[in-house]
A and B are shown apart, each in its own frame.
Chain A
């Protein structure tokens, strides 16, 4: 039993360190809430909180997908385009798919529309994973290419137009898309429910399943993971697939939010997702990051932007402030870790020099007595 005592102590100390990293993002979030509540009485109202959380939700879902990729040391720049593409696919199918070489038009039911849109997202993600793991193209390049390819397909399908007739017809059996996606059970928007669902599933995946351990290992030390028999290609492919799936989900939510499917939907969303992941304490080098931190990161970004809008800061200044917050958050993280390291190094140095002096002292004393 005595052996377990240091165990408890150790694990508690590590949790504190973890909390400090995540706590930093949490402190930033509290600061944002306090400042904007003081500046605007509308900020901390239930209605506004729900609206802001709905905005946060989409970015949070993308960011969780992004987190999986980042944990592996990769990055997914294509999620914004995949959001646009899968949204356009949903709109296209709802308006009716003209079957080639015939005069008939297919109107798939709403559930099929949703599943097909999700699958499109997952498929484009899987291609990213395939290109990265089998063709060994750097994740940055592979997903940069996909950013253009997916956006191009979105424009091709719509011919640059926007689908606005998403209501469906009862006689076609495809009505109710907006009702389902725009529903708000218990007064909470569907997007927020989806965020909670994705967060719970991702947490289980990362913390309870072997896949999660493989993912952290592959980002922490790829060589060790490989030698341990971790299926690196499977892990490396699946994370992009899941990131694409998250993007597909956001695509559907975005269409419902805008009540229109536009090929330009989701532009630059990938950058907000990366920002959320990074503010949430994840390391772009891989191996470090949590779902909890990522969600806090998404709230920091979302509340900051919505708060700035609410108090009437111009769009131009919003951009400047958002950028500065991202860099400051990561700089603080680096600084904090360097501080910790140098303090530890100093401690061991003094300890060692002391113990050596003591040894020398003991030796000389032993000599003088003998």
Chain B
């Protein structure tokens, strides 16, 4: 290991590094250093720029501008292999294993150990994989097929993969999202062993307390900017949170009309299995009610169960337990289509993929779920379709040249209004919206929410899932906080602070739990 003076222990230095995606700036020019033998923890909300910077440092994306110095040398990272050869390894946020290969094959993929004949040294690889698993205190066979492992184990394989590279800089992007508490403790021990050997760790986690516990240096990002740096013993959790938040606020809807009618949607004891990891509940014994005219927000971290609750109500995901009623009538055994007819409308999270047909016009998209009602004698009536589409464009305030305009000509916010308009044409009683403002600029966000509150005023029961604290607070009548599939707290948004909400969501998770995932 290089013996370190104060200057030379900087292994990576990013100077004015930034990234643009089209017109949006994911990362404004930031200056960032990583020091040997220390854990640098990155904090910031979704889209703050942490992952973008890490992808740049790991050679996965080139920066739009800026300079990267590795050990003081200006480099251009040509790809992940290039970065790895310079000693920079990354554990990805999304699991990136080949499900059809064994644990051993995954660990050494792209960096095979060779025999003198050029063939793979299976013996050596198996032994090395076994050693790594012992280091991580996990009984995973090197010959197990990666796709057969539960999610947490797959994450450990990813970690083993990065460890096997003998990197001098190890970037960990959400390494613990699928790990149990004992597994996290083992990982922390491994991290400490590595830093003692002079390895630099960059650590990203949504669990703020966990990241604070392991960090030496702290860096906070907000809206693509690096807004603060500190050493961990100088600061505490409230300081980190105060630096993280404070993004541009949307309009305040908390005091909009509260003429609530009867309970329309009622969920009792709902449990849903996590399809990616069948040993865990994605939704665990959740009760909730939404009244007519009410906008209820579900806030939670990634994996808290927001999407799963909405999709189970809409019939997309199967439930294992619990009762869902709409207007007093159980809908648990109905198909997606039957629920739609019964008045349950879902606006999905990924509108590009699940909500819109990109090749069709605005009008065709709007009337897509209503074609049967618009046809006469089995034939589509073009004029009828056009009339309905125009009416709906006015209803949901879509800014467009008309029903014939291509859907791709609309801005993100207007596309989202089309998705909402399409669902409204089925005359829903319950409107479920999953991250309705994802990828939409602030002004349009307020427009989407004012449409949502307008619809609520007309008597719809609305359930919104969001990962933005600001929106959960400003745009709801009632706020439900989820953590690991359970309801952690319920607030009146008029008398709760942002910090209280974030604390309840488990962003401050306790590190001393017994690790029981149930």
Q: In the complex the two chains form, is A348's CB within 8 Å of B518's CB?
A: no
Q: Give complex CA distance A214, B98 in Å.
A: 10
Chain A residues with CB under 8 A of B118 = 209
B96 nearest CB neighbor, chain A only: A224
Q: Is B80 on the interface with A (CB-CB < 8 A)?
A: yes
Chain B residues with CB under 8 A of A208 = 119-120
Of the listed stretches B137-145, B249-257, B490-498, name the one at the interface; the rest are far from the partner chain.
Answer: B137-145
Q: B498 → chain A, closest Cβ, in Å?
A: 33
Interface residues of B in 117-138 (CB under 8 A from A): 118-120, 130, 133-134
Q: In the complex the two chains form, is B98's CB within 8 Å of A229's CB?
A: no
Q: Is A219 on the interface with B (CB-CB < 8 A)?
A: yes
Q: In the complex the two chains form, is A223's CB within 8 Å of B96's CB?
A: yes
Q: In the complex the two chains form, is A10's CB within 8 Å of B81's CB?
A: no
The contact of A6 among B112, B119, B141, B281, by CB within 8 Å, is B141
Chain A residues with CB under 8 A of B141 = 6-7, 10-11
Q: In the complex the two chains form, is B145's CB within 8 Å of A14's CB?
A: yes
Q: In the complex the two chains form, is A352's CB within 8 Å of B518's CB?
A: yes
Interface residues of B in 255-314 (CB under 8 A from A): 273, 278-279, 281
Q: Give complex CA distance A201, B202 in Å.
A: 44
Chain B residues with CB under 8 A of A14 = 143-145, 148
Q: Is A99 on the interface with B (CB-CB < 8 A)?
A: no
The binding surface of chain B is classed by DSSP as loop
Q: B123 → chain A, closest Cβ, in Å?
A: 12
A15 nearest CB neighbor, chain B only: B143
Q: Give complex CA distance A217, B99 in Å.
A: 9
Interface residues of A in 164-217 (CB under 8 A from B): 204, 208-210, 213-214, 216-217
Of the listed stretches A105-113, A253-261, A353-361, name the one at the interface; the rest are far from the partner chain.
Answer: A353-361
Chain A residues with CB under 8 A of B80 = 226-229
Q: A12 → chain B, closest Cβ, in Å?
A: 10
Q: In the complex the two chains form, is B92's CB within 8 Å of A348's CB?
A: no
Of the listed stretches B103-111, B203-211, B427-435, name the one at the interface; the rest are far from the partner chain.
Answer: B103-111
Q: Is A141 on the interface with B (CB-CB < 8 A)?
A: no
Interface residues of A in 335-350 (CB under 8 A from B): 344-345, 348-349
Q: In the complex the two chains form, is A213's CB within 8 Å of B112's CB?
A: yes
Q: Give complex CA distance A158, B96 in Å.
A: 51
Q: With contacts A223-B96, A224-B96, A345-B278 known, is A7 near B142, CB below 8 A?
A: yes
Q: In the complex the two chains form, is A227's CB within 8 Å of B92's CB?
A: yes
Q: In the complex the two chains form, is A213's CB within 8 Å of B101's CB?
A: yes
Chain B residues with CB under 8 A of A214 = 109-110
Chain A residues with CB under 8 A of B112 = 210, 213
| Residue of A14, A204, A227 with most chain B CB atoms under a 10 A cut-off | A227
A287 nearest CB neighbor, chain B only: B100
Q: Give complex CA distance A220, B130 in Å.
A: 23
Q: A50-70 CB contact bits vs B (8 Å, 1 = yes)?
A: 000000000000000000000
Q: Is A230 on the interface with B (CB-CB < 8 A)?
A: yes
Q: B56 → chain A, closest Cβ, in Å?
A: 14
Chain A residues with CB under 8 A of B380 = none
Q: Give complex CA distance A345, B272 in Å.
A: 12
Chain A residues with CB under 8 A of B60 = 227
Q: With contacts A209-B120, A220-B98 known, is A352 near B110, CB below 8 A?
A: no
The contact of B101 among A3, A7, A217, by CB within 8 Å, is A217
Q: In the complex the two chains form, is A230's CB within 8 Å of B110's CB?
A: yes
Q: With contacts A10-B144, A11-B143 known, is A229 near B81, CB below 8 A?
A: yes
Q: Is A144 on the interface with B (CB-CB < 8 A)?
A: no
B98 nearest CB neighbor, chain A only: A220
Q: A49 → chain B, closest Cβ, in Å?
A: 35
The contact of A225 among B84, B109, B320, by CB within 8 Å, is B109
Q: Is B97 on the interface with A (CB-CB < 8 A)?
A: yes
Q: Is B114 on the interface with A (CB-CB < 8 A)?
A: yes
Q: Give complex CA distance A288, B101 in Å.
A: 9
Chain B residues with CB under 8 A of A225 = 98, 109-110
Interface residues of A in 1-55 (CB under 8 A from B): 3-4, 6-7, 10-11, 14
Q: A312 → chain B, closest Cβ, in Å?
A: 43
Q: With contacts A209-B119, A228-B110 known, is A356 near B101, CB below 8 A?
A: no
Q: In the complex the two chains form, is A353's CB within 8 Å of B321's CB?
A: yes
Q: A358 → chain B, closest Cβ, in Å?
A: 10
Q: Is B406 on the interface with A (CB-CB < 8 A)?
A: no
Q: Is A334 on the interface with B (CB-CB < 8 A)?
A: no
Q: A161 → chain B, closest Cβ, in Å?
A: 46
Q: A22 → chain B, closest Cβ, in Å?
A: 15
Chain A residues with CB under 8 A of B98 = 216-217, 220-221, 224-225, 287
Q: Give complex CA distance A119, B13 in Å.
A: 51
Q: In the complex the two chains form, is A217's CB within 8 Å of B105's CB?
A: yes
Q: In the complex the two chains form, is A213's CB within 8 Å of B96's CB?
A: no
Q: Give complex CA distance A348, B276 in Å.
A: 12
Q: In the complex the two chains form, is A216's CB within 8 Å of B100's CB?
A: yes
Q: Give complex CA distance A229, B86 in Å.
A: 14
Q: In the complex the two chains form, is B119's CB within 8 Å of A3's CB?
A: no
A288 nearest CB neighbor, chain B only: B100
Q: A27 → chain B, closest Cβ, in Å?
A: 24
Interface residues of B in 61-91 (CB under 8 A from A): 79-81, 84
The contact of B134 among A3, A345, A356, by CB within 8 Å, is A3
Q: In the complex the two chains form, is B120's CB within 8 Å of A224's CB?
A: no
Chain A residues with CB under 8 A of B145 = 14
Q: B218 → chain A, closest Cβ, in Å?
A: 28
Q: Give complex CA distance A229, B120 in Å.
A: 16
Interface residues of B in 160-209 (CB under 8 A from A): none
The contact of A221 among B81, B96, B119, by CB within 8 Å, is B96
Chain A residues with CB under 8 A of B92 = 227
Q: In the complex the two chains form, is B96's CB within 8 Å of A210's CB?
A: no
Q: Give complex CA distance A221, B94 in Å.
A: 13
Chain B residues with CB under 8 A of A348 = 273, 278-279
Q: Give complex CA distance A219, B84 in Å.
A: 23
Q: In the complex the two chains form, is B273's CB within 8 Å of A229's CB?
A: no
Could you list some 13 contacts between A and B, CB below 8 A? Answer: A4-B130, A6-B141, A11-B143, A208-B120, A209-B119, A209-B120, A210-B114, A214-B110, A216-B98, A220-B101, A226-B80, A229-B84, A344-B278
- Contacts A14-B144, A210-B114 known; list 6 others, CB within 8 Å: A11-B144, A217-B101, A224-B96, A228-B110, A229-B111, A287-B100
Binding site for B on A (CB under 8 A): 3-4, 6-7, 10-11, 14, 204, 208-210, 213-214, 216-217, 219-221, 223-230, 287-288, 344-345, 348-349, 352-353, 355-356, 359
In order of increasing CB-CB distance, the 7 nearest A-B pairs are: A229-B81, A228-B110, A220-B100, A229-B110, A220-B98, A7-B141, A224-B96
